[in-house]
Structure 1
Amino acid sequence: MPNSVFVQRRQQLIAALQPGSVALLSAAAEQSRSRDTEYPFRQHSDFWYYTGFNEPDALLIIANRSDMPAVQLLCREKDPAQEVWHGRRLGPAAAAEYLHLQAAPLSERNSILQQAINGSTAVYMHLTENSALLAQVTALMQQLKQREKRGDIAPVQLIDLAPVTAEKRLIKDQTEIAIMRRAGQISAEAHIRAMQLCRPGRYEYQLEAEILHHFALNGARYPAYNSIVGSGDNGCILHYTDNNSELTAGDLVLIDAGCELQGYAADISRTFPVSGTFSKAQAELYQLVLDAQYAACSAVKPGSNFAKVTAAAEQVLTEGLLGLGILQGELEQLIADKACKQYFIHGIGHWLGLDVHDVGAYKVAGPDGEMAEQPFVPGMVLTIEPGLYIPAGSPTDQCWWDLAVRIEDNLLVTADGHDNLTTAVPKEIEAIEQLMAAADAGK
């Protein structure tokens, strides 16, 4: 991603701040996994959004004040002794050159932070994250208030920075869209690979390994979230990540997996038969979910919203469940009662971006001040993921028990509708069966 993108984002944030105020944003900290080991470092999404800087413990100070630098980055100093053990550091001098901002050593944090707060009308920061920084800022504000007779000026407001940034992150620019399109392509190819290599007798974690291998082989070293590979009744567990069961002939396997590329997430779900061929009951339930997904996707366009998308999917699901005998009653009443939610137990989708469940409001204040659905506008990226889950013991014919189907794609809202970023992985029954049959023939 070109550095000019980060510079522009910082300029946009400065313009959004109250005159005379500052914004503080902390980098993520390294997290211990076990004794003397850490989890792979993952930068705080907002910090990455404004800097592209991928080191821990840094602090970004952005000011809408004429008496101090507009942007300051406080980061770790160069340290050969530490770097030989733990990896290279950019250091303040190189950070200033490469990131096009003013930088200083992290050791000067306390004095620079006090200078930034003193005289500011307000301080923007994440109020529900990084309690240490919040405690430090609150203490400094109290100290400044006690020294007002000496000319110090304490800010009068603490303002949450999260919704300010969330509004900006909700609309993706062309650089972000290009990255997310590539993340979708890589993830789609990984799902195809899992379909091709699926065989009875293999294990869920072996399909997961193939998916992660394909991610890394194509430049996406990490998944965007813990991959779900749930076969048989495991598919009825929405966030199943044990992935340790043997794949059994006659079962379905539900895979929910997406890569992270340059910080941006893909999020795809596909369901397919372990043996390569859907049974009659499996095919009927699968086609119903697919029809609901097509209906929901058709509703994704400028001016629409998640409520309309949900209604489109629920209409199809309710009609289909009634037709299959899984629900009983009058259609209109079943729709009004949202009876399909007994088996469609999650939402229709979510925003997608630097986080797999990305930031952004789902409801906004309307012209009359009342909260209303956030309308879709070009540049938004979201998932559409209807699903049906019928665990054993459900009040249905036993032919439906332990069936779980979820189909999920990533959609970019465009000026005239939407663009499916993950359409490359098959989801039609015939296409899935043909793909798996060809793979089986060539093994």
Structure 2
Amino acid sequence: MYFTQQDIQARRDRLAAAWNEQLAPGEAVLVYSGDPIGKPGGLDQTYPFLPHPAYFWLTGRRRESEVLLYSRDGGWVEFQKSVGPDEAVWEGPRTDLLVEGPGKPLESFESALAASHFSAVYALGQIAGPVEGKAFALRTSLDRARRKKDAAEVRLLRQLAGIAGAGYARIQEILRPGLTERHLQAAYEGELLIQGAHAAPYECIVGAGPNSAILHALPTERVIGEGEFVLVDAGAAIYDYCVDITRMFPSSEPVSQQHKDLYRIVQQAHAECIGMSKPGVPWREVHLHAARVIAGGLVSLGIMKGDPAELVAREATSVFFPHGLGHLVGLRVRDAGHADNLQPKTYAGARLRVDIDLEEGHCITVEPGCYFIPALLDNAEVRARFRDDINWNEAAKWAGIGGVRIEDNILITAGGNDNLTIGVPKSSAF
């Protein structure tokens, strides 16, 4: 069993301490698990049900249509859906109720809510419409509580890192010119299931050669050639908990000096940013450091011109590093890190998914990248804006090489950090 009733109670206690400072006597919060979504034209078919992560985190249950109620006076009350006879025949015993806790029948929810005469009720979880006012503040407290991983969550993430590591080892075993990107996807995902994962948490990204510069490159039938970068961005999931990892491999050896130079720039940014990631450090500062390292590396190669810090300030680095450094990860691949950021800012020309100070218990990806993206390099406006910052003739010599991204999942600890995915294989060829 992944979680115990004691794990769930500790989470509730942590959140209740925050909510009790926000709720007035007589007010309540509802957290909805959500309902299945029907497939268009699918008659009685639905998409696989995913409970709202807040509901799952607070209950250990993945049952549709359930509700969790909290009030200062009444504490936590679960309204649970029973298994009907038809469901028992067609679906069999439920295997997704990780924590069996006491609850009331879902059928009694409406009458119990009416009888309680709450002065205000705030709806969270899987609901329709915007979350505003006090409900937004309550959700922000919930998200901040969820960001800090408990011991049971960390154990599961370590297990997932091991599973993903087996998948990447399988890629290393079979990778050679002549395979397609989809061959690698199939090998990786098959190994995940063999090792005990439930699924890949997102569509696996596999890009070879120039496709390695496509940030979300879905695998294609493209045949992998000699002497190419192969970028694989893939994770592993069990009950929505997941890891998110990126590795670079050469399609064949020896590796060219160009490939080595580009990889080593990103490798330096990756290592230094992990070293910076510790409690109290603003995430934006870690991102900006990555941009400065990448700018410095490109200057040394003659691709960019000028002082790296000034290039970052002018956002010229966004031509080669157009995304944020990372995001919170754990319960879903985009964990609770951005919902309270209503007006996201850009840093070095990239919009950050999270703009927070790191705290003990956060789990965050560190994934710097450097790419030669035709859509940016061939853009007339980009060329005009950065005409004095980029040596366009030199950049043209790198066209077609693709790009590099290296990504690990970092748990912030009291003394610094713990790289949960450090054991996932990396190529030694670079």
Equivalences for residues 37-52 of structure 1 within 5 A: 37-52=45-60
1:199 counterpart SS class: coil
Change (3 A) 1:174 1:196: same
Distance 1:33 1:332 in 2: 50
Which segments of structure 1 move beyond 6 Å, counting only runs of 4 or more?
none
Give the aligned partner of residue 359 of structure 2. 377
Distance 1:196 1:295 in 2: 30
Query: What is the Cα deviation at residue 39 of structure 1?
Result: 3.0
Change (3 A) 1:333 1:79: closer
Q: Highest relative contact order (Cα 8 Å, sep 6+), 1 or 2?
A: 2
Give the aligned partner of residue 120 of structure 2. 122
Distance 1:75 1:241 in 2: 39
Give the aligned partner of residue 61 of structure 1. 69
Give the aligned partner of residue 30 of structure 1. 36
Distance 1:8 1:312 in 2: 36
Letter in 2 for 1:3: Q
Distance 2:290 2:134 in 1: 44
The size of the alignment, in residue pairs, is 393
Equivalences for residues 376-415 of structure 1 within 5 A: 376-392=358-374, 394=378, 395=392, 396-402=394-400, 403-415=402-414
Deviations 1:204-258 (A, max 9, x none): 1221122212222222111121111111222222122244322222221111111
Give the aligned partner of residue 350 of structure 2. none
Give the aligned partner of residue 88 of structure 2. 83
Equivalences for residues 37-436 of structure 1 within 5 A: 37-66=45-74, 70-88=75-93, 99-104=100-105, 106-116=106-116, 118=117, 120-126=118-124, 129-131=126-128, 158=135, 161-360=138-337, 374-392=356-374, 394=378, 395=392, 396-402=394-400, 403-427=402-426, 431-432=428-429
Deviations 1:114-141 (A, max 9, x none): 334x2x24323228x512899xxx9xxx
Query: What is the Cα deviation at residue 168 of structure 1?
Result: 0.5
Query: What is the Cα deviation at residue 98 of structure 1?
Result: 6.1
Distance 1:184 1:310 in 2: 24
Distance 1:271 1:424 in 2: 15
Query: Structure 1 residues 48-57 or 194-203, which shifts more?
Result: 194-203
Distance 2:423 2:263 in 1: 18
Distance 1:388 1:58 in 2: 45
Distance 2:7 2:73 in 1: 22
- What are structure 1's unaligned runs of at least 5 residues? 139-155, 365-371, 434-443
Query: Structure 1 residues 184-193 or 29-38, which shifts more?
Result: 29-38
Distance 1:406 1:197 in 2: 21
Q: 1:4 aligns with which of 3, 6, 14?
A: 6
Query: Equivalent pairs: percent with the same residue?
Result: 30
Query: What is the Cα deviation at residue 81 of structure 1?
Result: 2.3
Change (3 A) 1:330 1:263: closer
Query: What is the Cα deviation at residue 8 of structure 1?
Result: 2.4
Distance 2:306 2:9 in 1: 59
Letter in 1 for 2:67: L
State the TM-score, normalized to the length of structure 1: 0.81
1:130 counterpart SS class: coil
Letter in 1 for 2:366: I
1:83 counterpart SS class: helix
Distance 2:262 2:134 in 1: 54
8 A contact 1:61–1:73 mirrored in 2: yes
Change (3 A) 1:414 1:171: same
Change (3 A) 1:201 1:330: same
Distance 1:65 1:325 in 2: 66
- What are structure 2's unaligned runs of at least 5 residues? 342-353, 379-391
Distance 1:422 1:391 in 2: 28
8 A contact 1:362–1:373 mirrored in 2: no
8 A contact 1:126–1:160 mirrored in 2: no
Query: What is the Cα deviation at residue 27 of structure 1?
Result: 1.0
**Cα RMSD for the two superposed structures:** 2.9
Distance 1:131 1:78 in 2: 25
Deviations 1:88-107 (A, max 9, x none): 3599xxx8x96333321x33
Change (3 A) 1:81 1:425: closer
8 A contact 2:140–2:339 mirrored in 1: no
Letter in 1 for 2:101: H
Distance 2:216 2:163 in 1: 22
Distance 2:214 2:46 in 1: 29
1:188 counterpart SS class: helix
8 A contact 1:124–1:159 mirrored in 2: no
